[in-house]
Amino acid sequence: MKTIVERFLAYTQFDTQSAEDAGKTPSTDKQLLFARFLADELREIGLEDVEMDNLGYIYATLPANGKPDAPVIGFISHYDTSPDCSGANIKPRIVKDYDGLDIVLNAEQGIVTDTATFPELKRHIGEDIIVTDGTTLLGADDKAGIAEIVQAMVYLQEHPEIKHGKIRVAFNPDEEIGLGAHHFDVEKFGCEWAYTMDGGEVGELEYECFNAAGAKFTIQGVSVHTGYAKGKMINAGRIAAELVSRIPEADLPETTEGYEGFYHLLNIEGSCERATLSFIIRDHDARKFHERKRFMEQLAEDLSEKYGEGTVTVALRDQYRNMREKVEPVPHVIDMAIKAMELAGVSPRVQAIRGGTDGAQLSFRGLPCPNIFAGGLNFHGPHEFLPVPSLHKAMQVVVNLCELAGKFHD
């Protein structure tokens, strides 16, 4: 059997980058190549009821070996990687016994993960760390989560003395574009509750997340020869720049933390004749979230009043809601995760996610689903890294959760 590191490294060799506005599921065909590989692997390790539907959602079962009345719990991870950075031709490297200094990812291109910018590196001195070559992301978000779940299923089969109830696992596409849970079959999954293995640093446990929406602005300009443009031209590209300038600097991802919400410009394209801008809107507080959406609508109205009716339009789309209201009423789900971490020698850190997981949407569909650390850091970019001990700790937490759930009614 593969080690957990070998398993993760094999997963990184599949380019599973998702794509915004593709209009299909999965958003990229290449995700299905990995999905088929993963479904075959689940069969090879001995899981039952392995099924991959035509949209790339994978479900599988580890049968119970303990009390038949134990609750059925599940573990979920997504296999797509972010559109923000290339996931093709990933070249991972293991830095052995990390010494606490800057890590040169790519000497030829001068790409360095320095400890001044990324001080979290120093929390992992003495550990083996998996890094990129500086030209792609690593894919620990969330292939680390997949590796941990799969390895835990292997471990439980190799240790039948660990009694557990029926365990379900599921892997899905398109989480990074907010669509991962849209076609998830909660009824087929058949769990009382579940956990997404999709967090960051060791110890993270999250059951609060942002309320989230997307905003897409369309600006319709009027293109006229510059020599005859006075009083006629409406430059969509320039209006786009003005729109961006009206976003308060205090409300950007790079200037906020904790429970502070933000607006984030994902993409801007344009010319004199037409421009489009895509934003995401985030806030933990429902009232402030509504105000942020209204602010975006007001921007479109104000600019249209200035440049002509209908010049600027915005389409808002809710993506997910804060799952706290659905998880807090079932405190045993959180208590069990805390206990599982403590048994693995991990100090739990309950915190709010400055982001979202598929668990947010699933919680509102009747499947309480907090988020547990997968161990990676600096997701969505070339400075992403994954400490090897974190992989092992997360895998042990999954094993402990299975055992604890098997004793739930004791």
The label of the residue with tokens 């921007």 reads: 299
Indicate the pLDDT class of residue 354, thresholds 50, 70 and 90. Answer: confident
Quote the CATH superfamily of domain 4-209+322-406: Zn peptidases (3.40.630.10)
pLDDT tens across 289-311, in order?
999 999 999 999 999 999 999 99
Higher pLDDT, 353 or 384: 384
Pick the CATH number of 213-320 from 3.30.70.360, 3.40.50.1110, 2.40.10.350, 3.40.50.720: 3.30.70.360
pLDDT tens across 146-176, in order?
999 999 999 999 999 999 999 999 999 999 9
Q: How far apart are CA 129 and CA 6, in angstroms?
A: 14
- Active-site position among 80, 142, 204, 384: 80
Known active-site residue 80: yes
% helix / strand / coil in the chain, to the nearest 5?
A: 35, 25, 40
Point out which residues pair with 375 in neighbouring strands: none
The pLDDT of residue 1 is above 90: no
Q: Comparing 95-109, 179-193, 317-331, which segment has the lowest mean pLDDT?
A: 317-331
What b/e readout covers 197-233, taking b as 16+ CB neighbours within 10 angstroms? bbbbbbbbbbbbbbbbbbbbbbbbbeebeeeeeeeeb
Q: How far apart are CA 118 and CA 334, in angstroms?
A: 30
Indicate the pLDDT class of residue 353, thresholds 50, 70 and 90. Answer: confident
Indicate the pLDDT class of residue 410, thresholds 50, 70 and 90. Answer: low
- If you average pLDDT over every residue of the chain, what do you get? 96
pLDDT the model gives residue 409: 73
CATH 3.40.630.10 residue ranges for the chain: 4-209+322-406
- Active-site position among 141, 175, 198, 384: 175
CATH 3.30.70.360 residue ranges for the chain: 213-320
Known active-site residue 176: no
The pLDDT of residue 230 is above 70: yes
